Structure 1
Amino acid sequence: MDWLLEADSTAHKLALMVVAVLAFVVVMGVILFAVDKPKRVPTWVIVAGFIGPALLLVTVGLVYPALNTLWLSLKSADGSTFVGLDNYAQVFTTDGLQLVLRNTVLWVVLVPLISTAFGLVYAYLVDRTRFESLAKALIFLPMAISGVAAGLIWRFVYEYRPDQPGIEQIGLLNQLLVWLGLDPYQFLLHQPWNTFFLIVVMIWINAGFAMTVLSASIKAISDDIVEAARLDGASSFQMFRSVTVPSIRPALVVVLTTVAISTLKVFDIVYVMTGGQFGTSVVASEFYSQSFRQFNQGLGAALAVLLFVLVIPIIVYNVRQMRMAEEVR
């Protein structure tokens, strides 16, 4: 079977694919046979047949890499020496890495709040309007674009050319500045504003997700509640503040936490637009840089573990809020 592992030709690759398909058929056949003959096969065998492959894949694909990353974070750059918590201390004490942490905090605070607020207001304003479908489709379209594509689009929007005779601006924003009689600006170069210009891209992508989820929640509000508020003489703003927002609170929590988790892992936008340079690096991009550019395995693993730890509280809070919402129902 060693020749299958050395799939360096088309025939070998096809053979490997056939073996994999046959293995899948055999495993599924055994499972179906066990289910079809429950009296002849012990229950634990059936349970193991269904759960065993999934547990094996989870162990190999998630548990082992997580434990290995945790162990690497306690070792030196080349992974040869045990250094304890030195890598974590370096993350919180080095000026460059402190900037990375500050940038990450800015992303996690601004992107969920602004995306959710924009999505909520937009969903409320276009709800039951004549062009509701078209208006929602326009905001949802960026969700269909990958982070890499969005980064490339906005990189052209921010594109800067020197302000010299004969040189035209191809960036949309800088061309607008020129039309207004202002000098072009290097949006992706000057700190700390370049970080905020990158954050705009993430907000642009996630606003459609927030709008879609919150719009569905708004439509699910009972008509009796809405009619009662109107009979009491509530204005549109009072309806929004006292009826709409409290009624969709569980959906707001889900949107905020989901966007926060995706923001913590942001890498593609930063990598495509600035490569993490000019003070724009975040934890995910710095993890990549340390691990695969500077080959500092210990520090890169420490950043990966830190990212994992930051995600856990958000997930726990999200699960608790969902359970509370189910109990209320």
Structure 2
Amino acid sequence: MEQLVAAILTMVAGVLVCAAYFWGTNLILDRIFPSKGKFGAVASRNLRIANSIRPWLFLAPALLALTLYLVYPVVQSVWLSLHDRGGQNFVGISNYQWMVNDGEFRQSIFNNFLWLLVVPALSTFFGLIIAALTDRIWWGNIAKTLIFMPMAISFVGAAVIWKFIYDYRAAGTEQIGLLNAIVVAFGGEPQAWITLPFWNNFFLMAILVWIQTGFAMVILSAALRGIPEETIEAAVIDGANGWQIFFKIMVPQIWGTIAVVWTTITILVLKVFDIVLAMTNGQWQSQVLANLMFDWMFRGGGDFGRGASIAVVIMVLVIPIMIWNIRNAAKEAGGR
């Protein structure tokens, strides 16, 4: 109850502070550049100056937050990556040279590459197929709600759910893990799925695919509904079957949206952390870049230089995709 009250009070205080800021800054601006009571060129000049400054008053809190929580951490991370483990002594590119020669870093790069190949592709594909199918059935909205529900679960919460699915008990004992229960029911031997090197990556990927399919479905469903009916009717008249209409008529018209969904999930995959931390903590060759950075920065390694250098690598990988995604989304919005 105390936490709930504290949260409510924090929200109320935040709203009041925002209202006081906007009211106060606009009042001060109008006092500095008054237009009321002035005439002619003076009133016009003051009004023009005030109107040019006023938007920046509204943007100032957001710009301050971006500087404090985005720009400063980026600059500080780059600076730390050029220093030793304590962040005191300048070592140049030594941390980056270490990364190139470190086996665990190379393993993380390889695993992230696997995630990039599998998760965006499957999430987008399943989302597209489900969006097309659910639009054709009367209970489609119910199905969409059920499929979208995992999006409301945190990654750690999803990992806990899937731990029960992958749970392992010794052969001959009752299996509480769903996957092993099915395997045993068909006469197979139970496996400790998340400890199997290489293959455990795919078992972890299934969790993110399960979560992100709902996101892809919602975006692509909206795009499919925006396709002009005339093109579908023309294809039907020309004798096209369902598969041809879907893959040759509908998909090309929403390709821009598919690309945006794909790249959005790709950015998320490059930063994947929670699932790996909760499921394996990077053991059994399942390490990824974000978890490796966390290990070096805050856990056993305690090396700020190496942790920051890994963070810089993640940022460098994400930025080009993010820029392309923003531009493509802007084009898509402009085309509509």
For 1:212 and 1:25, how far apart are their aligned partners in 2?
34
Say whether residues 1:39 and 2:47 are aligned partners: no
Specify the code of the residue in structure 1 equivalent to 2:285. G
TM superposition score normalised by structure 1? 0.88
Say whether residues 1:287 and 2:282 are aligned partners: no
Specify the code of the residue in structure 2 equivalent to 1:163. A
Give a deviation string over 1:32-64, Cα, whole Å, max 9, x none.
Answer: 314656535653654553333333332222211
For 1:51 and 1:89, how far apart are their aligned partners in 2?
41
Q: Residue 169 of structure 1 corresponds to which residue in structure 2?
A: 175
Q: 1:134 aligns with which of 126, 136, 142?
A: 142
Specify the code of the residue in structure 2 equivalent to 1:314. I
In the alignment, structure 2 segments of 5+ residues that lack a partner are: 1-9, 36-45
Aligned partner of residue 188 in structure 1, secondary structure: helix
Matches within 5 A, 1:258-273: 258-273=264-279
For 1:217 and 1:62, how far apart are their aligned partners in 2?
32
Specify the code of the residue in structure 1 equivalent to 2:253. S
* Cα RMSD for the two superposed structures: 2.4
Give a deviation string over 1:194-243, Cα, whole Å, max 9, x none.
Answer: 11100011001001111111111111111111000000000111111111
Q: Residue 3 of structure 2 corresponds to which residue in structure 1?
A: none
Shift in Å at residue 29 of structure 1?
3.0
Matches within 5 A, 1:114-193: 114-164=122-172, 167-193=173-199
For 2:295 and 2:244, how far apart are their aligned partners in 1?
49
Say whether residues 1:61 and 2:69 are aligned partners: yes
Residues 298, 319 of structure 1: CA spacing in aligned structure 2 closer, same or farther, 3 A cutoff?
Answer: same
In the alignment, structure 1 segments of 5+ residues that lack a partner are: 1-15
Residues 20, 206 of structure 1: CA spacing in aligned structure 2 closer, same or farther, 3 A cutoff?
Answer: closer
Matches within 5 A, 1:79-94: 79-94=87-102
Number of residue pairs matched by the alignment: 313
TM superposition score normalised by structure 2? 0.86
Mean Cα displacement is larger for which, 203-212 or 54-63?
A: 54-63
Contact in 2 for aligned 1:100/1:286 (Cα 8 Å) = yes
For 1:131 and 1:51, how far apart are their aligned partners in 2?
44
Q: Residue 73 of structure 1 corresponds to which residue in structure 2?
A: 81
Say whether residues 1:234 and 2:240 are aligned partners: yes
Q: 1:276 aligns with which of 274, 282, 293?
A: 282
Percent identical: 41
Q: Residue 115 of structure 2 corresponds to which residue in structure 1?
A: 107
Q: Residue 28 of structure 1 corresponds to which residue in structure 2?
A: 22
Specify the code of the residue in structure 2 equivalent to 1:72. L
